[in-house]
Chains A and B, each alone.
Chain A
Amino acid sequence: DTGVSQDPRHKITKRGQNVTFRCDPISEHNRLYWYRQTLGQGPEFLTYFQNEAQLEKSRLLSDRFSAERPKGSFSTLEIQRTEQGDSAMYLCASSPGLMNTEAFFGQGTRLTVV
């Protein structure tokens, strides 16, 4: 198992464009999380999937953000009409779902909106 994989690693986009990020969790991990990390801050929770069901969304996730996890495998996070304030590192994490098990993080996608 190669761990949590995120693609792309870096994305530069113009303001107003749409972007989509992909996360491939560790196989058989049924829990998947998206976090956003801005410079000098800790990661902030965005949304959570258990299998294919999106069970929680943070208030940080505005209407321009949407996430999916079809068939409970990989997940995508789309940002529509990007704004400069969306510039951040977007982290994906997965866990097996057991109460005492850690979350495993990917290397993140760094988004820069110019």
Chain B
Amino acid sequence: AQTVTQSQPEMSVQEAETVTLSCTYDTSESDYYLFWYKQPPSRQMILVIRQEAYKQQNATENRFSVNFQKAAKSFSLKISDSQLGDAAMYFCAYRSAYGGATNKLIFGTGTLLAVQP
């Protein structure tokens, strides 16, 4: 069974600074997707960034980028130029890419990010 581990329950960053959130996962599959989701206090989960395991290039979405290390099963999220609106719970998630699977998401326990003005 696949597992996702986020070892940082809480992180804090100064506005305009850079912060990196860590995520490791375990799987025996070779093809899968990894995601970072943001859950603001309103509780609606929003996709931040997605990485396909077969792609070597790290995904980037504006101020958000990932460091995907497939051999190490590591998938960290870097937030550059942090803004007050980035404050939220961040979840790392895994999804199988195999056809016929439910494509359910397997989540880590989350990292609560605080942004200090």
Contact = CB atoms under 8 A, between A and B. Distances in A.
A35 B97 CA distance: 19
Contacts, number: 57
B61 to A, nearest CB: 12
Given A45-B105, A100-B33, A107 B99 contact: no
B110 A106 contact: no
A95 B45 contact: no
A107 B109 contact: no
- The size bracket of the interface on A is 20 to 34
Interface band, chain B: 20 to 34
Given A106-B44, A107-B43, 8 more contacts: A33-B102, A33-B104, A40-B109, A43-B91, A45-B104, A56-B102, A105-B45, A108-B44
Interface of B: 4, 6, 33, 35, 37, 42-47, 50, 52, 91, 93, 97, 99, 102-110
25 contacts: A31-B103, A33-B102, A33-B105, A42-B4, A42-B6, A42-B108, A42-B109, A43-B45, A48-B104, A56-B102, A56-B104, A89-B43, A91-B45, A93-B45, A95-B103, A99-B97, A99-B103, A100-B52, A102-B35, A103-B103, A105-B44, A107-B42, A107-B44, A108-B43, A108-B44
